[in-house]
């Protein structure tokens, strides 16, 4: 059976908001109301909107009444009907460490990197709507979601919070999540602006990158996320960019964000990222978590800065107006900001489980050992605390899940970055899914005992882990706790070994060719154990594809040695706690890869990765045919995908474009769900920015006239259909 359906995912807007500078938008009702409201404010009331504390660090007697304890709050102005802004950390759900709200629970989504592995923006939108609804019902009206920093180094501690290495994929997934969060009637941020890709010395390091490289990579990811999600706020980052702190970087906050992109919300700082009152002149509107900064630049010290002429009074008006306009735009003034009703955690858990199932990436499946079938009567699970739960990432984004953590251990990084396990047992889920099988568990602490158990089983499923958390980068790509040796020992004892990886980053796999199957489960969230079991047993056909490149070795990376490793105290190196040490020396580093992040770097250098960006297997097979391409002003690729296997499945065909002398670029993808024998037509229309160079001197995107090579592929290194097209020269504003 054959159907024609247009499925492609790509940006269809012109190259950037070309008219933002030439033709400013007409004032909206929110603009007019905000202007009128700010005119009625005293200077003290305006300044009150520009700063907020970490709630948990405020003595109970001094807290604003009725405020839900979260990341922070900003007082409102009751006489003018301006509500307080009550903020929660986010991305994987409503963050709720014991430091913040003892005993609170929320639905834990899979890691954002896992959600990006689904390549499914609609799934991200649904997840965003769910976590936004929980935030609203817990009494919050601002959610610090929308992490879109590109994954430039697989050792970076917060990669699990972000959406991969490609600007189109990352921006699309993050933008969908932001739109979902805000559909629940609250404000979302996009963060951390910009080029904030390492935890090592994050408060003291500076990244050096030229404008063209930044525009074509990290900034493009933010631009796409903002276009897709329309966030109410942008959160600026800790690091310096070209020697200037991100939160007082006029180029980023004023020239790019407001002048070129036409952003009309407000900019808040990350918690502890402000260094002067004058940052408001550069484009920062709000100091967040002010106790974590050296001084209260936007509160106690602001009146003196105004009086001394270091900050013009008009800058206070502008910042207050942006904040109030955002409140009006998103209707925060029309809804009571208080905890309300009961939350349907069962329904929300299903959203999380479906996202986890869509995120899992089958990297290898020799001999079709998966899915598990009835002939596998004796199955042993080994390691990873798979008897009780699944691993979660750590830091300010961590969600204490419904049912709590079944196990918590100290982790490197921030004090609240604990190595925690969600109470969703793969062992229990597999036993329920395979009632006729003998499914047992061995903890894996002794590789010899594990090998003996594996040898006696029909199939051995060994869990490899690599924990990640805010405040710490990782010294290598090896699995934690001698996990590589454990998998090798199990595989040597049983050729039908399946490795399940609960990881927040790409990892090395020295044992890859010894195991029959590899499933990347990421940090799978609230019902991660059930999701793993459903994929292993075939109740769900895996459809995830890698959102990052898995390198064969760190020597293939632009920085074989992690930047800043020599700047940390010698006694800290062995602990891999690089991020927040107060005695870390300032350092600077640059990007040899420029805009060629991830798979583009591998394409440029010719290095063969362990597993390529975009790779992912299915329990069925797909055939591609009938490629047709069109050029001129707009590049379009149309092709047919057919399911030639015996199972229904979802495919993710990817379209890459290469220009002479340049690394290939992803320009779009499809995600057809196909029954056996079914065909569908996929059309991808490329956003010209993905083909263009950015000319910093002229502030223009330029698509050169010429012939462009087209690849329809199953990954960045596996083209299936090829073609070429001639493009006209196109030039646009940013």
| Residues 404, 294: Cα–Cα separation, whole Å | 35
Give a three-class secondary structure readout of 473-492: CCCCCCCCCCHHHHHHHHHH
C-alpha separations of 539 from 372, 433, 615 in Å: 10, 9, 21
Instruction: Count CB neighbours of 387 within 10 A.
Output: 17
| Residues 138, 160: Cα–Cα separation, whole Å | 25
| Residues 316, 319: Cα–Cα separation, whole Å | 5
Is residue 515 within 8 A of residue 488, CB to CB? The reply is no
Question: The dihedral of CA 717, 721, 727, 733: what is its sign?
Answer: negative
Facing residues of 85 across strands?
74
Q: Which tokens in the block code for residue 289?
A: 């978590």
Helix (H, G, I), strand (E, B) or coil at 659: strand
> Cα angle at 215 between 124 and 324, to 5 degrees?
60
Task: Give DSSP secondary structure letters for 596-657.
Answer: --THHHHHHHTPPPSB-TT--B-SS-EEEEEEEEE-BTS-EEEEEEEE-SSS-EE---EEEE
| Residues 610, 599: Cα–Cα separation, whole Å | 12
| Residues 434, 532: Cα–Cα separation, whole Å | 13
Cis peptide before 545 (omega within 30 of 0): no
Which strand (E) or helix (H) includes residue 430? Answer: helix 426-433
Which one of the listed residues 153, 166, 260, 270 is annotated catalytic?
270
List the one residue out of 636, 642, 669 whose CA is nearest residue 654: 669
Burial label, 358 (beta-carbon count in 10 A; 0-12, 13-18, 19+): buried
Whole-angstrom Cα Rg for the chain: 25
- 270 catalytically annotated: yes
Is residue 648 within 8 A of residue 674, CB to CB? The reply is yes
Give a three-class secondary structure readout of 331-389: CHHHCCCCCCCCCCHHHHHHHHHHHHHHHCEEEEEHHHCCCCCCCCCEEEEECCCCCCC
Helix (H, G, I), strand (E, B) or coil at 65: coil
Q: Are strands 244-245 and 673-674 parallel, antiparallel or unpaired?
A: unpaired
| Residues 421, 416: Cα–Cα separation, whole Å | 14
| Residues 334, 287: Cα–Cα separation, whole Å | 25
Half-sphere exposure of 310 (CA within 13 A, CB side): 13
- The stretches of 26-166 forming alpha helices (DSSP H) are 29-39, 43-48, 112-117, 121-137
Is residue 579 within 8 A of residue 199, CB to CB? The reply is yes
Q: Are strands 497-503 and 187-193 parallel, antiparallel or unpaired?
A: unpaired
Active site residues: 270
């Amino acid at each position: 059976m054959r159907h024609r359906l247009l499925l492609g995912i790509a940006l269809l807007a012109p190259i950037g908001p070309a008219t933002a500078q030439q033709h400013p938008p007409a004032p909206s009702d929110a603009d007019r109301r905000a202007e009128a409201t700010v005119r009625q404010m005293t200077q003290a009331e305006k300044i009150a909107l520009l700063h907020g504390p970490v709630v948990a660090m405020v003595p109970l007697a001094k807290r604003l009444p009725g405020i839900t304890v979260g990341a922070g709050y900003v007082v409102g102005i009751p006489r003018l009907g301006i509500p307080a802004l009550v903020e929660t950390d986010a991305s994987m759900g409503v963050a709720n460490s014991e430091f913040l709200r003892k005993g609170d629970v929320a639905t834990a989504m899979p890691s954002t990197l896992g959600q990006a592995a689904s390549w499914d923006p609609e799934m991200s939108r649904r997840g965003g709507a769910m976590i936004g609804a929980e935030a609203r019902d817990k009494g919050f009206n601002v959610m610090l979601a929308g992490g879109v920093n590109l994954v430039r180094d697989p050792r970076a501690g917060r990669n699990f919070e972000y959406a991969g290495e490609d600007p189109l994929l990352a921006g699309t997934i993050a933008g969908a999540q932001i739109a979902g969060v805000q559909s629940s009637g609250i404000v979302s941020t996009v963060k951390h602006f910009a080029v904030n890709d390492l935890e090592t010395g994050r408060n003291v390091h500076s990244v050096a990158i030229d404008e063209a490289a930044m525009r074509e990579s990290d900034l493009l990811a933010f631009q796409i996320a903002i276009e897709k999600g329309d966030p109410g706020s942008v959160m600026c980052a800790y690091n310096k960019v070209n020697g200037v702190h991100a939160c007082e970087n006029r180029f980023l906050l004023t020239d790019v964000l407001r002048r070129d992109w036409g952003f009309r919300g407000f900019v808040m700082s990350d918690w502890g990222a402000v260094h002067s009152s004058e940052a408001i002149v550069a484009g920062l509107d709000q100091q967040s978590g002010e106790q974590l900064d050296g001084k209260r630049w936007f509160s106690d010290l602001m009146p003196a800065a105004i009086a001394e002429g270091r900050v013009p009074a008009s800058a206070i008006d502008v910042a207050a107006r942006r904040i109030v306009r955002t409140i009006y735009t998103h209707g925060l003034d029309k809804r009571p900001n208080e905890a309300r009703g009961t939350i349907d955690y069962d329904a929300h858990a299903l959203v999380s489980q479906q996202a986890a199932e869509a995120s899992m990436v089958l990297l290898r499946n020799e001999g079709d050992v998966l899915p598990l079938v009835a002939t596998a009567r004796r199955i042993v699970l080994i390691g990873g605390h798979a008897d009780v739960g699944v691993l979660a990432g750590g830091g300010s984004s961590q969600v204490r899940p419904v049912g709590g953590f079944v196990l918590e251990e100290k982790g490197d990084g921030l004090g609240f970055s604990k190595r925690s396990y969600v109470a969703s047992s793969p062992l229990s889920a597999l036993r329920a899914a395979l009632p006729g099988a003998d499914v047992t568990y061995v903890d894996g602490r002794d590789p010899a005992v594990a090998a003996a158990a594996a040898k006696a089983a029909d199939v051995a499923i060994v869990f490899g882990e690599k924990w990640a958390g805010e405040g710490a980068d990782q010294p290598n790509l090896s699995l934690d706790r001698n996990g590589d040796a454990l998998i090798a020992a199990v595989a040597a004892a049983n050729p039908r070994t399946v490795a399940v990886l609960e990881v927040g980053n790409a990892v090395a796999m020295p044992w890859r060719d010894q195991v029959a199957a590899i499933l990347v489960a990421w940090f799978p969230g609230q019902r991660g154990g059930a999701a793993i079991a459903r994929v292993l047993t075939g109740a769900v056909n895996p459809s995830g594809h890698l959102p990052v490149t898995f390198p064969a070795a760190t020597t293939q990376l632009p920085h074989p040695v992690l930047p800043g490793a020599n700047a940390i105290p010698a006694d800290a190196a062995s602990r891999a706690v690089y991020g927040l040490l107060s005695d870390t020396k300032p350092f600077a580093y640059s990007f040899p890869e420029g805009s060629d992040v991830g798979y583009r770097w591998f394409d440029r250098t010719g290095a063969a990765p362990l597993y390529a960006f975009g790779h992912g297997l299915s329990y069925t097979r797909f055939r591609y045919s009938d490629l047709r391409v069109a050029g001129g002003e707009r590049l379009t690729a149309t092709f047919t995908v057919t399911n030639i296997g015996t199972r229904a499945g979802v495919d993710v065909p990817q379209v890459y474009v290469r220009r002479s002398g340049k690394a290939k670029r992803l320009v779009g993808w499809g995600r057809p769900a196909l029954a056996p024998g079914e065909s569908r037509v996929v059309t991808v229309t490329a956003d010209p920015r993905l083909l263009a160079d950015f000319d910093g001197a002229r502030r223009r995107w330029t698509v050169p006239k010429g012939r462009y090579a087209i690849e329809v592929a199953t990954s960045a290194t596996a083209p299936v259909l090829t073609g070429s097209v001639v493009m006209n020269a196109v030039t646009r504003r940013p």
